[in-house]
Structure 1
């Protein structure tokens, strides 16, 4: 299963040739995407600089396609689960290859499993840190109660 599939986006959305995920618009301004996805204009321009998005230009205005919108959705989903922009771009770029479906699914599956391992390790570390912090809170609260009860 690819990143696009997980995000509820079809291959047609990503390559711009088919129906999208419910939004009937075919083109979007930078402001449209900024509002819809709650990202800054600077973020969108940064993603463009990183070749994650490729809006066309009409004068000074950027015009984003459904493909750009779908790719933005995938970028944000990928970031949310901890992928780097480089990893996200690598997976998205496989859509441009002839056998992109198979290659992209293999790469995505490998990356997803690796990321699950990373997040599981982080989860264990966080749980341990929370346990230690709770114990410390108990100790400090106990010491404070003693000080307050003893008047000193």
Structure 2
């Protein structure tokens, strides 16, 4: 028997809103089947659950929905297709380069903030010492 999930179950499991899941469906990232009167009830498969998990992971890593869709399609394609593997590699390399630039920017910003913090502490220490000296003289 195939495992099936409701939108509520997936939303709860991955801590997202049903609206977000419907949005990912609208974007072609998920393809639940429909059941019930008028086909209103969405039924998600194990494939959909995996695609949602990978979509959310891709979003956390900063991938666009278009990049995620491409990666999901590659994930499900035969592994011996060289053009698809090259496209996958190009996407991953490009994104890694972006993240490395962002990390360098963050490191530089953190270094600047540490210097500002040190300078502010030194000024506070000097002012505190100056006020203590002034209080002692009166």
- TM bracket (short chain): 0.7 to 0.9
Q: For residues 139 and 38 of structure 1, what CA distance do their matches in structure 2 show?
A: 42
2:125 matches 1:125: no
2:17 matches 1:40: yes
CA RMSD of aligned residues (A): 2.2
**Cα offset, 1:108, TM superposition:** 1.4
Q: Deviations over 1:11-32 (max 9, x none)?
A: xxxxxxxxxxxxx861100111
Q: Deviations over 1:120-139 (max 9, x none)?
A: 11111000000000000000
- Structure 1: state its 5+ residue gaps: 1-23
Question: Is the contact made by 2:7 and 2:21 (CA closer than 8 Å) also made in structure 1?
Answer: yes
Three-state SS of the structure 2 residue aligned to 1:89 is: helix
Q: How do 1:2-151 and structure 2 match up within 5 A?
A: 26-59=3-36, 60-94=40-74, 102=81, 103-151=83-131
Question: Is the contact made by 2:30 and 2:51 (CA closer than 8 Å) also made in structure 1?
Answer: yes
- Structure 2: state its 5+ residue gaps: none
Q: For residues 101 and 5 of structure 2, what CA distance do their matches in structure 1 show?
A: 39
Runs (4+) of structure 1 exceeding 3 A deviation are: 93-97
Segment drifting more, 51-60 vs 41-50: 51-60
Three-state SS of the structure 2 residue aligned to 1:57 is: strand
Higher alpha-carbon Rg: 2
TM-score (norm 2): 0.82
Larger proportion of helix: 2
Length, aligned pairs only: 128
**Cα offset, 1:96, TM superposition:** 7.0
Q: Higher relative contact order at CA 8 Å, sep ≥6: structure 1 or structure 2?
A: 1
Q: For residues 73 and 115 of structure 2, what CA distance do their matches in structure 1 show?
A: 48
